[in-house]
Every structure is written in C-alpha cells, then in structure tokens.
Amino acid sequence: MTATDPTVGELSEGQVLEAILRQIGPSSAEVGPGDDAAVLPAPGERIVATVDTLVHGPDFRLAWSGGYDLGWKSAAVNLADVAAMGARPTALLVALAMPDSTPLSFVTALAAGLRAGCEALAPGCAVEGGDLTVSDTLTIAVTALGVLDGIPPVRRDGAREGDVVAVAGETGLAARGLGILFDRFRDAHGAPVPVDVAALRPGEADAITAQLRPTPPIGLGPIAARAGASAMMDVSDGLALDARRMASASAVTIDLSSASIGGDLAVALAGGEDHALLATFPPDAPLPPGFRAIGTVRAAQPGGPLHVDGRPFDDRAGWDPYQDWDSERG
C-alpha cells in the first residue's frame, strides 16, 4: 500500500464499486453491474441474478439472531433484489462459511429459516444448491435467481420528470428494532447480549422482529412492473440513500414528502432493512394496491438529487458498510 493507494475503509461503498467496475470490463448482459440485479439472456427467457452476503459483525450478531432468523433474513434480502427488477424469484444458491465449532442444530435451523422465508415470501422459490466451507467468521452468501415472465426489467435509472414516487412495505420499523437492540441489549463493554423478552415495551417485539426477520413485499415487484413502474429498487440501505441513488442514476431530483412518509421521519429516511420497494410510476398510471405515494420526480434541481418537502436534503443518512461499520465492531 502506498500513499496513493487508499484502503477500502477510507472510501465509500460506491467508490470501491466504481474501482471494481473499471477493471472487470464492459458487460454483455442486458442489465449488468450497478442495479439491484443483473439480467442475463437465456433461451426463451431472461434470467435475473443477484448475490448478497451476510457477515457476522457488520450484518448480524449471534447474540441477537438465531439460525432460523438468519436463514429467513438471508432469503428475504436476496428475494427483494429480484423483486426490485420486476422479476419472479425461482431459486436460491447458498454458500455457508462457518467455524468448525458451529453446532449442527444452528445449521439445520438456518436451513429451516431459508425454506420458510421462501415459502412465505416467494412461493415456488427454493434453495437449489450451494456450498459449505470453514471460516473463522460465520458468513452466509446467497445467490438469487428469477425470471421476468416476458416483461422488461424495471431498472433504477428509469425515473422521469413528473413521475410519482411510491413505496410498498415498511419504512423504518427494522431500523427502530436495530436501535432497540443496540440501546438496550448490550453489556457494559458494548458486547451484544440476548434479548430479554420480558423487558420489551409495547411494540418493541414487532420492531425487533422486523429487523431480524424482515417481510419485504416480494410479490409486488412483478405487479409494479406490469402496472408500468418506470424505475424500482429495494430499499436496503435507507430510504434517503436509495432514493438518492435512484435519482442520480436517472439524472433527476426526487422530492419526498415528509407528510406522506409519516411517522418518525428521521428513522424512516435512514432505515432500510425492512427491504421496502421504492418505485416511480408515470403520473397517469394508477398505483397498484400496496404502494403509497411519497413524493414526485422533478427535473434535476440545484442542491442535489434528493429533496424533502422541496428543500435539498444533504444528510447522508443510510448504511454504507465501508463508512458506517467502525465503532460498532465486535
């Protein structure tokens, strides 16, 4: 490493991704790197493919998450990326790297969670293969595949001036659950401790469940595509951050309405692990059931790609693994 060779910890996720994309060369896919999932040509169909990795430490803590929860969440976060392209999920491939001290009961619980997540969120989708290996750090890598059933993919760069910005699913509940875990269930040294269910206040159990076992509206992805969605993406890193990404990709400004978002605005804008679907629709297209309007697409405005209530929103709220995972390590 030299003075001109930064580490990934000194950069943002976007900067790291940009450096990788410069090296791997042009894509031959219909939709390549940079969206929620790739779209690959295949005889008679186009395959949507995506991959996501959950790592103990930055992504989950075993003191809070059991095997079943992790299996469910591993399925949910990948299914949401497939749905965000307007596709129907068809299969998961799971690579599991774990310490050799991992109890078999934990592994079987994880497998049961994967199956239950698929059955509940994307009926017909199942785990079709994968890989097992040993590692000092528990890591779950899932590749999800889906099909478009003859419709075009919905990209994140299709938002146009005048479109209605809408969202389906929760915004902020999972973030509230994570806040409860970090605020209330750590020891004097900051290490996570198991949740004391008896100590939970009204509503807290639902928020924690939303964090550990999210229920994104997978079935609404294809429905939104058929309803004419011009752009769509999975809200994985926060409504504000992902809306900014959509606006930047589309060369527009997204103006969100705080009144339409409702609730605790700061939490709703920063929280993303509910894996809601953020979409834009032409102004004359009725919103499909399950979506609610939360803003408008405008021509690119001074002050940046994201506005709230007509004013530039500069707060970089949201999750960036290379910028946000430091003081919470352990």
Annotated binding-site ranges for Mg(2+): 36, 50, 52, 81, 131, 234, 237
Binding-site entries for substrate? 59, 273, 319
Q: Record the tokens describing residue 310, joined without a space.
A: 């007509």
Q: Record the tokens describing residue 5, joined without a space.
A: 């060779």
Q: HSE of 311 in the Cβ direction (CA atoms, 13 Å)?
A: 4
Cα–Cα distance for residue pair 288/224, rounded to 1 Å: 6
Q: H helices within the chain, ranges in order?
A: 13-24, 67-83, 104-121, 173-184, 204-212, 220-226, 239-250, 258-261, 265-270, 321-324
Cα–Cα distance for residue pair 78/212, rounded to 1 Å: 15
Residues 6+ apart with CB under 8 A from 257: 293, 294, 295, 296, 308, 309
DSSP code per residue over 267-317: HHHH--TT-EEEEEE-TTSPPPTTEEEEEEEEE--TT-SEEETTEE-----
**Residues 39, 47: contact at Cβ < 8 Å?**
yes
- β-bridge partners, 98: 134
**Residues 238, 321: contact at Cβ < 8 Å?**
no
Q: Record the tokens describing residue 247, joined without a space.
A: 């606006």
Binding-site entries? 36, 50, 52, 59, 81, 130-131, 156, 234, 236-237, 273, 319
Q: Record the tokens describing residue 195, joined without a space.
A: 């949740």
- Residue type at 151 in one-letter notation: I
Binding-site entries for ATP? 130-131, 156, 236
Q: What are phi and psi of 304, to 5 degrees?
A: 115, 175
Cα–Cα distance for residue pair 77/37, rounded to 1 Å: 12
Q: Record the tokens describing residue 3, joined without a space.
A: 């003075």
